[in-house]
Amino acid sequence: MPRYEQAGDAFQQASSHANMGPSPEGLGEPFPQYLVQPDPSLPQVKLPDPALFSPPQNDFEQLVLDRRSHRRYDTEAILSLAELGYLLRLTQGLREGSQTQKLTRRYVPSAGSRHPFETYLAIQRVEGLEPGIYHYLPEQHALELWKSGTKALQAAHSTTCNQKQVLNSAVTFFWVAEVYRTSWRYGMRAYRYIYLDAGHVCQNLYLAAESIGYGVCAIAAFDDQLADTVFELDGKERFTAYMASIGKKLPAA
């Protein structure tokens, strides 16, 4: 019995450098949209100026030493809007952006600065925000309320098979991959880069959360098809790549 999976090997071979072939960029295909514009039909919440927020813990070595996954959260603690803005800035916020330069600069590494992710948030306990699913707008550093209410939250949570840390989280992050942003330059190899980029984003969330006394649990065990249905994705050009719950750490966690 081989010590590898045939489907995984097929992916590795198909996405190898030797099989990249010409990219859409090389073929003159249209340039992708890297910054989604606000939906005028959705309520928008401006996040506080991130330059005005300073986390209580800034010792990088200590943050790395203390970082680990947390599955038990204080369900009485409320994440402030400034803290949420800080987490969003350091995971998918803009340093600078230009559609004419065909890239954006952010606070995480990304192959070719393609930054393929849109961030959706299942929010339960954030200061001043009603429960629901929100979409982050990096260019505006704002949130738009995509779907409100407990039914929307329950649908989002069900994609993780209702894992306990998700049900008890203050917020759960959902990173949706826009494949063409990366495949435009890298063709089939883009799929490797998308998952590498997801790891970069989530590690920043771990470290940023640690600096404000919150804990994170990355989630790769989720129902792909259900997640794509809940977030209205086609599963091909747009799909759910990664998730992470976050909440205030308990002393014994």
pLDDT tens-digit map of 100-115: 566 889 999 999 999 9
Full set of structural domains in the chain with CATH: 6-31+44-248 (3.40.109.10)
Asked if 104 and 96 touch (Cβ cutoff 8 Å), the reply is: yes
Q: What is the pTM of this model?
A: 0.95
Does residue 104 contact residue 115 with C-beta atoms inside 8 Å?
yes
Closest of 133, 191, 188, 141 to residue 35, by C-alpha: 141
Under DSSP, the state recorded for 250 is: P
Q: Can you read off the two tokens belonging to residue 46?
A: 């401006």
Question: Which among 90, 77, 52 is positioned nearest to 205, based on CA atoms?
Answer: 90
Is pLDDT at 1 greater than 90 in this prediction? no
Task: Name residue, tokens 């299942």.
Answer: 122
SS3 207: helix
What's the confidence (pLDDT) of residue 100?
Answer: 58
* Confidence class for position 251, pLDDT limits 50, 70, 90: confident
Q: What is the DSSP string of 55-117?
A: -S---HHHHHHH--B---B-TT--B-HHHHHHHHHHHH-EEEEETTTTEEEESS--GGG---E
Number of other residues whose CB lies within 10 A of the CB of residue 103: 18
Tell me: the pLDDT tens digits for 132-147?
999 999 999 999 999 9
C-alpha distances out from residue 103 to 139, 166, 224, 236, Å: 13, 33, 28, 22
**DSSP-derived 3-state class of residue 189:** helix
Instruction: State how far the Cα of 163 lies from the Cα of 31, in Å rounded to an integer.
Output: 39
DSSP 18: G
Provide the token pair at 10.
């097929």
Among the ranges given (37-46, 62-71, 91-100), the one the predictor scored with the smallest mean pLDDT: 91-100
Mean pLDDT of 157-164: 97
Q: Are strands 94-98 and 142-148 parallel, antiparallel or unpaired?
A: unpaired
